[in-house]
Structure 1
Amino acid sequence: MKIDVLTLFPEFFSSPLNESLLKKAIDKDLLSVNRINIREFSQNKYHKVDDYPYGGGQGMVMAVEPIVLAYESIPKEKNSKTIFLSPQGQLLTQAKAKDLAAYDQLILLCGHYEGVDERAINLIVDEEISIGDYILTGGELPALVLIDAISRHIDGVVGSKTSVEEDSLSDGLLKYPQYTMPRSFRGEEVPEILLSGHHKNIENWRRELSLRRTQNKRPDLWASYNNKLKKEGK
């Protein structure tokens, strides 16, 4: 998959993209992340990319021209989509990340300051996505979250496909509790059923704990899960 990021701060991505699974995905040519500096497409000698909002108000607004010119510099794949990271967008979910992983190319627009000239959104953006109902200093962190979430669904990035399929939220539920060595630590014991070797009982136990954990910790997810079951007639 090819991801192009339109940003004022391309170096923001340097460290995260050189660590862990993202680095491995890039090294294996499963993922490429190209950072386009919007400032380089400014048409004035000071490389200015923002200005005061028409109609008055606080702060500065990212200008339409350098954004659109930066976008137009990107070679487009046939199966591509342009996303603006914005609190106005649809909330990012596991299902949405999986859907986006099917594209050959994603172009991500990172906003800054008080916002982006609406004309840039109208001209180039296919979809707006939010990572949560809170405000950050810019769109770079949300873009990284989106890249990381999507990358897990690209074949070969995560060693085990089953691991991805069993992730929390993959089926609308939180994941069951997990344990590893040692068997006992400061009075906390690994549940006996996990030591039984009876795989069907372990599977049933994990399913029950997944249901219980979702109901107790995320009633919003629990409600959505039950609504989905009702629609499916289960």
Structure 2
Amino acid sequence: MRFDIITLFPELFTPFVEVGVTRRAYSSGQVAVQCWNPRDYAPGNYRRVDDRPFGGGPGMVMMAQPLADCLAAIRAQRAEAEPAPLVLFSPIGERIDHAQVQGWSDSQGAILLCGRYEGVDQRFIDRHVDVQLSLGDFVLSGGEIAAMALLDAVARLQPGVLNDEGSHQFDSFNPALDGLLDCPHYTRPEVWEGEPVPAALLSGHHANIERWRREQSLRNTALHRPELLDQARSRQQLSRKDEQVLASADLVNLAKPL
């Protein structure tokens, strides 16, 4: 798959694709990434890509024409057989979740537009943008971090990227499993600052370990993201035993406000 990134700061992506476990996806070509700077398509000595908003107000707005010319160059380079929706990271966009990431990981890629300043000229959005996405209800200084988040989530789902091929199957929010939060994890030493690893994890009894992990996953979800339980129920992914765990007095007593 291929992701073309429209950004005023392509240098931000250089270390991103060269470090960490997900670099395997980029170095192997499983996920191809190419950055495009709209300044390269802006006229004049100053290569201006922004201007003041009509109607007044603070900040600047990214101009439509340099973005349109940059987009045309990208589409000309991509093969016609590679459909590439244009994605804008925006506060009005649909929030990215695991199901969306899975969908993008199975796609041929996209063109990611990283906005800056006060935003992008609405006429460009109306004419060219196919999808708008958001990381959440907060504002970043630009779309680059959101683009990196999507790329990282997609890259780690590619075959051979993670050391353990099945690792991502147990990620939090995976609806193919149940969509719940993951259980806590522990490693050596067995006792750290007086606190031991839970006995179930040291038992060597696989059934007990799996039971403990399931109960902890249910507990985490009930305490921190209870709406995920409702979604799992709607998909009929909770068993009678799960409901018994959720109804236990122990779990109720642990439900304290954050």
Asked if the contact 1:64/1:120 (under 8 Å) is kept, the reply is yes
**CA-CA distance at 1:174 after TM superposition:** 0.9
Aligned residues: 231
Q: Which residue of 1 aligns with 2:41?
A: 41
- Unaligned ranges ≥5, structure 1: none
Are residues 78 and 29 of structure 1, via their aligned partners in 2, closer, same or farther at CA, if it must alter by over 3 Å?
closer
Q: Which residue of 2 aligns with 1:16?
A: 16
Structure of larger gyration radius: 2
Q: Which residue of 1 aligns with 2:28?
A: 28
TM-score (norm 1): 0.92
Q: Which residue of 1 aligns with 2:194?
A: 187
**CA-CA distance at 1:227 after TM superposition:** 4.1
1:116-195 superposed matches below 5 A: 116-170=120-174, 171-195=178-202
Q: Hey, what's the Cα distance between the residues in 2 that align with 1:69 and 1:228? A: 45
Q: Hey, what's the Cα distance between the residues in 2 that align with 1:55 and 1:91? A: 30
Give the secondary-structure state (helix, strand or coil) at the position aligned to 2:151: helix
- CA deviations on 1:101-154 (whole Å, 9 max, x unpaired) are 111121100000001011221222111000011011111111111111111122
State the one-letter code of the partner of 1:176. C
State the one-letter code of the partner of 1:210. S
Q: Hey, what's the Cα distance between the residues in 1 that align with 2:159 and 2:24? A: 13
Greater shift after overlay, 104-113 or 78-87?
78-87
Identity %: 40
Q: Hey, what's the Cα distance between the residues in 2 that align with 1:221 and 1:105? A: 28
Asked if the contact 1:215/1:222 (under 8 Å) is kept, the reply is yes
**CA-CA distance at 1:229 after TM superposition:** 3.6
1:212 is aligned, of 194, 212, 219, to 219
State the one-letter code of the partner of 1:129. L
Q: Which residue of 2 aligns with 1:78?
A: 82
- Unaligned ranges ≥5, structure 2: 238-242, 244-258
Q: Which residue of 2 aligns with 1:97?
A: 101
Greater shift after overlay, 30-39 or 194-203?
194-203
Give every structure 1 segment of 4 or more consecutive aligned residues whose post-TM-superposition deviation is greater than 4 Å: none
Give the secondary-structure state (helix, strand or coil) at the position aligned to 1:155: coil
**CA-CA distance at 1:190 after TM superposition:** 1.1
| Alignment RMSD | 1.8
